[in-house]
């Protein structure tokens, strides 16, 4: 049995968790039915915002942008601002069709207010992530109670991949916020359409008694609005049903969130519509068509599968969709995204829209875009790491939801919220498993319903309403929990020794590794008690703060692009053109502050930049145009007249491979500076050299 937190060993946590555990039911709190409800609500809101600010804001500008997506988005937003073209994003002078422009617009607002630097690029992500915590708290508090709402927001704030994305200049935080708001509105519509039952028409509710002059007893009309008598009368009144139960503001927010999610990343309608379709089918009479189809032989079952799918869709309950008023919501949605589509089509002659469709729809679903082709089951394997430290609760939470949905043993519970959460998770998860291109952040919006299920599992176990955490295997899981943390701390220490054992950087990483080990030990000591999630949240938050304010900002190896770009800007101020060969990371483009020429191969560099040969006169290397039967190789060609391509002064940042190529072919260059650090895209040591093609003048 799950033990309660006692006093003595954890007195402060005892006060916190006991106050949260004594919170009223969400339905009573949401309406402000008792005097302290509103005060408690705003206390929770301020506490969640404080936690988000403490976790997501410190060290944003001191840690460099991580290659490669983060600086690409930051550069695209910067070029939008400098070009005054907010319809077509560009990266280093070329059209950048990776994502729609909503996240870039918020970065531009941050640039205009605080200047163009890494902190401004990351600030919108931190704000969107903190606001998402509030939405999670509000929707969870309404269905599961205040304790579950607060715990779900706290748990999500330190969830591994969610925390990482909240501190990066990416488009995912804006998309997650929009998707969560849209799903919160859908949940309200689902509750308004079916307040009394799981499927089918709601049972009739007794009509309210009528009194002379209204529906309230004459003695009640003189009572204050928040009097106990009025609260009791409202509790016994029948709930609102149908479209009248959903305000127009909620419907408007839903369509605004759908448009914002589409403009942020384009996949918000996929998450929302897949959940709505699943809810409609699950609430219909699909069992009547399933049983005859299951009873047929397997060969006929395969042949009859399309017909069964069509009959299942026809028997679904689609009437509740009308609560969201699609008759004016869809035109509003189109009116919100159409101006950008028309402006982008006109500005790029349709090129941007064509590239975005080919890259984000065709290639991501049919081929491995950017070498990210993964087999089905990829997310099922990676979720145990990306959802850490709460992945230890995934199996109990899934079992808990299925038991509630099937009305299993235990106290009676409304299965509707669990049906909604499973409909939010399962269909979208299956779709993303089928897509060929897979990246771990694609399923981040599904972390929200998963964290709600995990928080509800913990709270229901504390209250004795669920026994899923009382299993022996979960009691023994504390050793797995502690072992994982100790192994992670050991790997971090070993990696730091391998990379930085000769410098003081190693001693910056060791405290963070020790703090991570402390998270595992502290969690194992209070395992399966009320203190466990709060101790984990507190200790892990301290570990993350230590890593982001002390460790990462002071590792000079991570500042490679920033240090090299600062030196290159000094040469640019003296009239040199900037270029890079071999090391073509997007972070270099961001920190250089302007367009630079990038070359992936040394021959491309030598075709664009004039260097001096090993002889007496200047020359440059080009590819010899030999017949196909002859072996191709570099040759030396005299320098072209002034004004042709390749003339001018260049400062070029090259890696060892390019430097070796120049020496091998006796290309004369002038080294100016050298830099050592980590190439973040591959997490490997690299040495860079800044060279020029002319002597310093």
DSSP label of 636: E
pLDDT for residue 399 is more than 70? yes
pLDDT for residue 210 is more than 80? no
In a shared domain, residues 640 and 588: yes
Q: pLDDT > 70: what percent of the chain? A: 78
For the residues 112-117, what does the mean pLDDT come to? 94
For the residues 214-221, what does the mean pLDDT come to? 50
Which of 19-28, 408-417, 454-463 has the largest mean confidence?
Answer: 454-463
Q: What is the CA radius of gyration of the chain?
A: 30
Q: What is the pLDDT of residue 201?
A: 40
Q: Give the long-range contacts of residues 322-327, CB within 8 A, separation 24 or more.
A: 322/243, 323/189, 323/192, 323/193, 323/242, 323/243, 323/245, 323/246, 323/251, 324/185, 324/186, 324/189, 324/246, 324/251, 324/254, 324/255, 325/243, 325/251
In a shared domain, residues 575 and 678: yes
Beta-strand relationship, 618-623 and 684-692: unpaired
In a shared domain, residues 513 and 606: no
Q: What is the pLDDT of residue 28?
A: 39
pTM of the complete model: 0.83
In a shared domain, residues 175 and 322: yes
d(CA 55, CA 165): 12
Residues composing the chain: 697
Split into its structural domains, the chain has a count of 4
User: Where does the pLDDT of residue 437 fall: very low under 50, low under 70, confident under 90, or very high at 90 and above?
Assistant: confident
Given 328, 344, 367, which residue is the final one in a domain? 328
Residue 412 lies in a domain: no
pLDDT for residue 72 is more than 60? yes
Beta bridge partners of 373: 437
In a shared domain, residues 549 and 612: no
pLDDT digits (tens, 9 = 90+) for 258-278: 999 999 998 899 999 999 999
In a shared domain, residues 676 and 561: yes
pLDDT for residue 508 is more than 60? yes
Mean pLDDT of the chain: 82
Q: Which of 17-26, 65-74, 225-234, 477-486 has the lowest mean pLDDT?
A: 17-26
Pairwise pLDDT comparison (622 vs 562), residue with the higher score = 562
In a shared domain, residues 129 and 191: no
In a shared domain, residues 58 and 74: yes
Q: What is the pLDDT of residue 204?
A: 43
- The residue range of the domain holding 548 is 471-554
Q: What is the pLDDT of residue 300?
A: 65
d(CA 178, CA 165): 15
Q: pLDDT > 90: what percent of the chain? A: 58
Q: What is the pLDDT of residue 219?
A: 54
d(CA 322, CA 294): 32
In a shared domain, residues 112 and 146: yes
Q: Which of 83-97, 299-313, 582-596, 628-642 has the lowest mean pLDDT?
A: 628-642
User: Nearest-5° angle of CA 38, CA 40, CA 46?
Assistant: 105
In a shared domain, residues 187 and 60: no
pLDDT for residue 39 is more than 80? no
Burial of 428 (0-12, 13-18, 19+ CB in 10 A): buried
User: Where does the pLDDT of residue 537 fall: very low under 50, low under 70, confident under 90, or very high at 90 and above?
Assistant: very high
Residue 357 lies in a domain: no
For the residues 301-308, what does the mean pLDDT come to? 69
Residue 338 lies in a domain: no
CA distances from 243 to 184, 195, 614 (A): 16, 12, 82
In a shared domain, residues 518 and 619: no
């Amino acid at each position: 049995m799950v033990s309660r937190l006692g006093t003595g060993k954890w007195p402060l946590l005892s006060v916190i968790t006991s106050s949260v555990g004594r919170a009223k039911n969400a339905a009573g709190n949401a309406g402000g039915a008792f005097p302290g409800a509103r005060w408690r609500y705003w206390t929770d809101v301020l506490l969640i915002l404080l936690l988000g600010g403490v976790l997501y804001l410190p060290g944003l500008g001191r840690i460099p942008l991580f290659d490669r997506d983060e600086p690409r988005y930051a550069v695209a937003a910067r070029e939008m601002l400098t070009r005054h073209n907010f319809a077509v994003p560009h990266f280093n002078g070329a059209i950048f069709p990776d994502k729609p422009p909503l996240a870039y617009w918020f970065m531009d607002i941050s640039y205009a207010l605080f200047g163009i630097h890494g902190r401004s690029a990351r600030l919108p992500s931190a704000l969107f992530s903190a606001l998402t915590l509030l939405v999670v708290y509000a929707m969870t508090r309404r269905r599961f109670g205040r304790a579950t709402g607060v715990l779900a927001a706290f748990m999500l704030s330190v969830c591994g991949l969610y925390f990482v994305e909240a501190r990066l200049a990416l488009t995912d935080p804006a998309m997650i916020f929009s998707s969560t708001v849209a799903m919160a509105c859908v949940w309200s519509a689902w509750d308004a359409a079916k307040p009394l039952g799981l499927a089918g028409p709601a049972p009739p509710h007794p009509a309210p008694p009528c009194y002379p002059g209204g529906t309230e007893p004459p003695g009640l009309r003189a009572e204050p609005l928040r009097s106990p008598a009025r609260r009791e009368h409202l509790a016994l009144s029948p709930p609102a049903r149908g479209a009248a139960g959903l305000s127009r503001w909620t419907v408007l927010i839903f369509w605004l969130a759908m448009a914002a999610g589409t403009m942020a990343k384009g996949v918000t309608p996929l998450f929302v519509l897949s959940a709505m379709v699943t809810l409609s089918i699950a609430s219909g009479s699909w069992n009547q068509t399933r049983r005859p189809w299951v009873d047929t032989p397997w060969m006929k079952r395969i042949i009859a599968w399309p017909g069964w799918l069509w009959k299942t869709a026809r028997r679904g309950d689609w009437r509740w969709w009308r609560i969201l008023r699609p008759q004016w919501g869809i035109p509003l949605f189109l009116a919100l995204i159409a101006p950008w589509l028309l402006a982008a089509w006109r500005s790029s002659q349709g090129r941007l829209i064509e590239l975005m469709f080919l890259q984000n729809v065709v290639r991501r679903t049919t081929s491995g875009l950017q070498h990210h082709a993964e087999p089905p089951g990829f997310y099922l394997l990676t979720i145990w790491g990306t959802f850490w430290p709460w992945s230890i609760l995934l199996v109990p939470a899934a079992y808990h939801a299925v038991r509630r949905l099937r009305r299993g043993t235990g106290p009676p519970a409304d299965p509707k919220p669990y049906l909604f959460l499973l409909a939010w998770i399962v269909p979208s998860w299956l779709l993303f498993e089928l897509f060929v291109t897979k990246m771990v952040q694609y399923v981040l919006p599904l972390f929200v319903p998963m964290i709600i299920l995990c928080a509800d599992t913990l709270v229901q176990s504390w209250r004795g309403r669920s026994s899923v955490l009382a299993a022996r295997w979960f009691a023994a899981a504390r050793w797995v929990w502690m072992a994982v943390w100790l192994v992670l701390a050991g790997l971090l220490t070993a990696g730091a020794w391998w990379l930085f054992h000769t410098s003081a950087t190693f001693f910056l990483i060791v405290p963070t590794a020790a703090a991570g080990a402390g998270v595992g030990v502290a969690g194992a000591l209070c395992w399966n008690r009320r203190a466990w999630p709060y101790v984990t949240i507190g200790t892990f938050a301290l570990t993350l703060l230590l890593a982001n304010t002390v460790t990462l900002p002071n590792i000079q190896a991570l500042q490679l692009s920033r240090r090299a770009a600062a030196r290159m800007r000094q040469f640019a101020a003296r009239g040199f053109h900037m270029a890079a060969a071999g090391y073509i990371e997007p972070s270099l483009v961001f920190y250089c502050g302007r367009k630079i020429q990038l070359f992936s191969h040394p021959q491309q560099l030598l075709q664009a930049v004039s260097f001096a040969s090993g002889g007496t006169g200047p020359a440059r290397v080009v590819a010899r145009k030999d017949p196909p039967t002859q072996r191709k190789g570099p040759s030396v060609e005299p320098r072209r007249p002034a004004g042709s391509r390749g003339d001018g002064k260049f400062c070029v940042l090259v890696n060892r491979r390019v430097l070796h190529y120049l020496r091998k072919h006796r290309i004369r260059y002038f080294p100016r500076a050298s830099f050592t650090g980590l190439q973040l895209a591959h997490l490997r040591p690299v040495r860079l050299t800044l060279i020029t093609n002319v002597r310093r003048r």
